[in-house]
Amino acid sequence: MKKIDKNSKLKLLYVVEAFGGGIFTYLAELANRLDNDFNIYIAYGLRKQTPQNFKEYFPKDIHWVKIKDFTREVNLKKDLKAFVELRKVVKEINPDIIHLNSSKAGILGRWGINNKKHKVFYTPHGYSFLMQNSSKSKRIAYKLIEKISARKNTTTISCSLGEHRETLKLTPNAVYVENGIEIEELDSIKDIPKNNEFTVFTLGRISEQKNPQMFNEVAKALPNIKFIWIGDGELREKLKAPNITITGWVERKKALEIAKSTDAFFLPSKWEGLPMSLLEAMYLKKYCIVSDIPGNNDVIKNNINGFIGSTKNDFINILKILLTNSLNCEEVRDKAYKQIINHYNTEVMKKEYIKIYLGK
């Protein structure tokens, strides 16, 4: 493989169908960090949560290629068209390194790309066979597809230790780099007045993964606490408690401003990769309350840098303690903040990815 020098950068192609939410943030921050080291191309599909001005979040010299037939749902006709589109894109760009992001891109890319000609990596960002809103038969099928696809000449880069453990059940050709966040961006967010009442937020698509049913039940049980859901989605109607505000999809800067004005972050997800929203909340010194699942519990250690629950009563009791300040929890927030400073940031992430991409 060619060496990076001032006159010739390696071509790095990111392929992403799920171009929204945490994956969008992950790619934007990684691309901004790696722009000086690689000539970056992004082949993408659009989703409802993709910011309209998405290109503004990336370096100006990024090369953009839209895969118009990328869809979230399984659609054999469109998936076949996307497969052909992707092969054409790879042939035209002829990248040195290809990094596939999310399950759809991972499946199509691993089967459609010549892995002997290009160095190929894959990051699931949460395996589809762990999605509890799918039937058991579908999850078995998804896992079988992942297992067969993992035999291709590809290295899987998991974004958390929990995801890495799942990957090792499929293939030994695996490494993991934990997600990191762009600290400088968060520091640039202006301070806005704090809410007068204790306020809890979450961020993401209102989907089965994020467990809006649990969010609603906890909010209903604690009417003296204000709850905010930053985002939108197909299960919006599940959030019926009168003390819940749904912002809809807002610009990232606005979302971070809202987050900064709150007291706590609540993520009762049913499955995760490693949520960027959690890492950002930790850096913003919010009390972090999460469900006891891989991805969440890879980062949060109960009563040390956050709080972990499994049931509605667990979450209610944690929030009651925080609301009444019956325990001194300031140290918990400080430890979470320091963990981001020392470990979960994009500078650390950048160094690890360069090592993996170049085979060092």
Determine the topology of domain 10-180+345-358 in CATH. Answer: Rossmann fold (3.40.50)
pLDDT score recorded for residue 4: 44
Residues 81-110 pLDDT 10s: 999 999 999 999 999 999 999 888 999 999
pLDDT score recorded for residue 124: 92
- Would the pLDDT of 300 be above 60? yes
pLDDT score recorded for residue 327: 66
Q: Is 231 left (phi over 0), alpha (psi -120 to 50) or beta?
A: left
- Would the pLDDT of 335 be above 90? yes
- Would the pLDDT of 2 be above 70? no
pLDDT score recorded for residue 286: 96
| Whole-angstrom distance, CA of residue 202 vs CA of residue 288 | 10
| Whole-angstrom distance, CA of residue 164 vs CA of residue 25 | 20
- Would the pLDDT of 345 be above 90? no
Burial class of residue 116 in the structure, from the number of CB atoms within 10 Å of its CB (0-12 exposed, 13-18 middle, 19+ buried): exposed
What is the average pLDDT across 239-255?
Answer: 95
Identify the architecture of domain 183-342 in CATH: 3-Layer(aba) Sandwich (3.40)
More confident residue, 202 or 330: 202
**Percent of the residues in the chain that have a pLDDT greater than 70, as a whole number:** 97
pLDDT score recorded for residue 46: 87
- pLDDT-derived band at 232 (thresholds 50, 70, 90) equals very high
What is the average pLDDT across 310-316?
Answer: 97
pLDDT score recorded for residue 64: 96
Residues 60-74 pLDDT 10s: 999 999 998 888 777
What's the order of all strands across the beta sheet hosting 155-158?
63-66, 38-44, 10-16, 97-101, 119-123, 155-158, 174-176
**Domain spans in the chain, listed from the N-terminal domain onward:** 10-180+345-358, 183-342
pLDDT score recorded for residue 6: 43
Asked if 10-180+345-358 and 183-342 have one fold, the answer is: yes
Question: For the ranges 131-135, 199-203, 292-296, which has the lowest average pLDDT?
Answer: 131-135
More confident residue, 249 or 73: 249
- Would the pLDDT of 1 be above 60? no
Residues 7-31 pLDDT 10s: 579 999 999 998 888 889 899 999 9
What is the average pLDDT across 44-51?
Answer: 86
More confident residue, 323 or 218: 218
- pLDDT-derived band at 351 (thresholds 50, 70, 90) equals very high
Give 192-250 as a DSSP string: -PPPSS-EEEEES--SGGG-HHHHHHHHHH-TTSEEEEEB--TTGGG---TTEEEEES-
